[in-house]
Amino acid sequence: MHDLSLYLLDILENSVRAGATVITTTIVADRAADELSLAVEDDGPGLPVEPEQALDPFFTTKANKKTGLGLSLFRQAAEAAGGGLSVGRSQELGGVAVRAWMRLGDVDRPPLGDVAASIATMFATNPEIEFRVDLDQDGTRTSLCGPDIPARFSELTAFQEALP
Amino acid sequence: MADRITSPEQLKALAQKAKSDIDLREGRKETQVTVHMGTCGIAAGAREIVAAFMTELSANGVSSASLHQSGCAGLCEEEPMATITTADGTLYRYGLLDKSKVHTIVVNHLVGGTPVDAYLIKT
């Protein structure tokens, strides 16, 4: 994966496949703290295993596969940029919570990429799911929710264009 | 790289189409286009393939087909790939897609009714 928006798309797909009906994406960019974080939470059934096992590249919930590379690759990318990745239970929604963080200015941090395209892809092909997007750039917060997303889509593109 | 969605109107149109597709799904059988978006598919460019299908379905006035996404189909070496399911349940799996192939598939298969044999996955 060459940018963070593709990792995000992969995590969103996991939530959709798990049967979530509400999925929240949170992206926080804090220049003062030199940190960028991306988080996805859902109201799906949650992890069937311990979090550490979910990060094992040879663990998957799919019957026809033997590997589950998405989360482990995301963790590797985050760690390479001085951060990490955690998987657990969403306090707000009750399903899975995935959060990756990394140094915003780290030379090894992948570019943010086209987050708007990833959100749009999942939004348009899964109309039965409520998507929420929370953005925070240096303390300036924006929240997009469900039907509001199309009308306020420009805020999402503006957020990503303001970051390297 | 696919064209980015740059306006609320574009996204709203896509969302409205998707919602109308859901309405269709609740009624009679229909043609479904499913782009596989497991980790392998995403890494190979599946997001751009979804965008290409959105563009081509709209540009060619294909209202009888709905666009969906799913996980890995187990044929990672064929990614990015899509499966077209016709009203009679027949599956057509297309592999190693790009924007040009998507255009050909929509025009020939979904509009013209003739599957594009050259792009079908041979199993």
Count how many Cα atoms sit within 13 Å of the Cα of residue B117 in the half-sphere of its side chain.
0
Which tens digits make up the pLDDT trace of B37-86?
988 999 999 999 999 999 999 899 998 898 899 888 888 899 999 999 99
Contact A121 B50 (CB under 8 A): yes
The domain ranges of chain B are 8-17+38-115
- For residue A65, the distance in angstroms to the closest alpha carbon of chain B comes to 7
Distance CA A130, CA A164 (A): 29
Smallest Cα distance from B77 to chain A, Å = 14
Nearby residues of A95 by Cβ (< 8 Å), 6 or more positions away: A15, A18, A20, A41, A42, A43, A44, A45, A46, A89
Whether B15 sits inside 8 A of A123 (CB atoms) is: yes
pLDDT band at A7; cut points 50, 70, 90: very high
Is A123 in Cβ contact with B39 (below 8 Å)?
no
- The closest of B72, B86, B65 to B36, measured between CA atoms, is B72
| Nearest-by-Cβ selection for B68 from A69, A125, A157 | A125
Q: How far apart are CA A34 and CA A36, in angstroms?
A: 7
Give the residue, B114 or A149, on which the prediction is more confident.
B114
Residue % of chain A over a pLDDT of 70: 93
Contact A126 B69 (CB under 8 A): yes
B8 — phi, psi (to 5°)? Answer: -60, -35
Average pLDDT, stretch A10-22? 93
In the beta sheet, which residues pair with residue B91? Answer: B85
**Between residues B106 and A56, which one has the greater pLDDT?**
B106
Concatenated DSSP letters of A81-115: TT-EEEEEE-TTTSSEEEEEEEETT-TTPPP---H
A64–B74 CB contact, under 8 Å: yes
Find the CATH number of the domain harbouring A111.
3.30.565.10
Residue B20: pLDDT band (50, 70, 90) is low
ipTM: 0.81
Expressed as residue numbers, the domain containing A79 is: 4-161
Listed range (A32-46, A61-75, B17-31) with the worst mean pLDDT? B17-31
Q: How many domains does one find in chain A?
A: 1
Say whether residue B11 is in contact with chain A using an 8 A CB cutoff. yes
Helix-strand-coil split of chain B, %, nearest 5: 45, 15, 35
Amino acid at A14: N
